[in-house]
Amino acid sequence: MNAKKWECEALKGISDGIFLVHDGRLRAAEPVYHDFVMLAYIAHGEGVHHIGGKDIEIRNGDIFVINPDVIHSFSPSVRSGYIEIYYCFIAVEKAEEIYSALRDFFELDGFFNNTHIGYIHVEDNANREIQSLFVRMIDEFMNCPTGSRCVINSYLVITLTKIFRRYFNSMNNPVFNRNKIVDKTIRYINYNFNFGVRVCDIAEALHLSEEYLCRLFKKHTGMTIKQFIINLKIERIKDLLKNTDRNIESIAVSLNCDQTYLNRLFKKHTGMTLLNYRKKYHYKA
């Protein structure tokens, strides 16, 4: 595959070897490789990451740590038409310094040495813990308050540690649920979440009756599919209120909801209005 080298001249001029930026993409990018380590966090939208000879479907919360010289490219899906990514570029020397402090993850020597593992892919948790760290790093980088480089360095070590922990957890628990049908159901919900999900659509996609699907899902998760979707929606709203500056109307539109209904649903499950929650938990509060 022909690929272009992704140059980051700004990274070369930074003494501690860390550069952060967020970028939106409306169309497929050409294949690239780079001479630095890249962290990429899919913040909003969905699409495909072409990497390591694979086409990996990506959505909000997917995270990649990509070694130098690995060819890859991001493409937004036709349905979403847009993908927003938080990037952290790390000079090789800086990455080696950080990895030397993370030798507890000795199983990752093949990744640290860039010999057997070219990239790591994990998903953030429901609370978007790693996204919060990314947002804080970008905020420190863009505004440069006193001591910002020290704070960024600390956040980065924590971020990588949590990513590697999630990597091992995903290896031990490769699916959301041990039942394959329930796993497929949850994956379907996550993938189609921003476009609205109905039980009948899931059942049709899996070639099952609604009754059987609902009974199986409740048995293995302890909740109905509708309850699961509502819980997921509440967590997504919390994430957007805490970690972005998007207005409430925009959040409602992105979730295919009426703003009044969304506020009523949110207050029912959290005891707080959307505005009060943002005032209390927004990362700049």
> What is the average per-residue pLDDT within 51-65?
91
269: phi then psi, degrees, rounded to nearest 5 = -95, -20
Query: By C-alpha distance, which of 264, 232, 86 is closest to 159?
Result: 86
Cα torsion 161, 114, 63, 126: sign: negative
Structure tokens at 196: 């609205």
Q: What digits encode the pLDDT tens for the residues 16-57?
A: 899 999 887 767 678 999 999 999 999 988 899 999 888 999
Q: What digits encode the pLDDT tens for the residues 103-130?
A: 778 778 888 888 778 999 999 987 889 9
**DSSP secondary structure letters along the chain:** ---EE---HHHHT-TT-EEEEEEEESSPPPPEE-SSEEEEEEEEEEEEEEETTEEEEEETTEEEEE-TT--EEEEE-TTT--EEEEEEEE-HHHHHHHHHTTTT-GGGHHHHTTSS--EEEEE--TT-HHHHHHHHHHHHHHH--TTHHHHHHHHHHHHHHHHHHHHHHHHHS-SSSSSHHHHHHHHHHHHHGGG---HHHHHHHHT--HHHHHHHHHHHHSS-HHHHHHHHHHHHHHHHHHH----HHHHHHHTT--HHHHHHHHHHHHSS-HHHHHHHH-TT-
Answer whether residue 11 shows pLDDT above 90. Answer: no
> What is the average per-residue pLDDT within 132-147?
92
What is the reported pLDDT for 269? 92
pTM: 0.64
Confidence of residue 171 (pLDDT cuts 50, 70, 90): low
pLDDT averaged over the chain? 87
Cα separation, 222 vs 199, whole angstroms:
16
What is the reported pLDDT for 17? 93
What is the reported pLDDT for 174? 45
Cα separation, 142 vs 19, whole angstroms:
10
Q: What digits encode the pLDDT tens for the residues 266-279?
A: 999 999 999 999 99
Answer whether residue 62 shows pLDDT above 90. Answer: yes
Confidence of residue 66 (pLDDT cuts 50, 70, 90): very high
Q: Report how far apart, in Å, the C-alpha atoms of 128 and of each of 135, 195, 260 are.
A: 11, 20, 25
Confidence of residue 242 (pLDDT cuts 50, 70, 90): confident
Question: What structural domains and CATH numbers belong to the chain?
Answer: 4-172 (2.60.120.280), 180-281 (1.10.10.60)
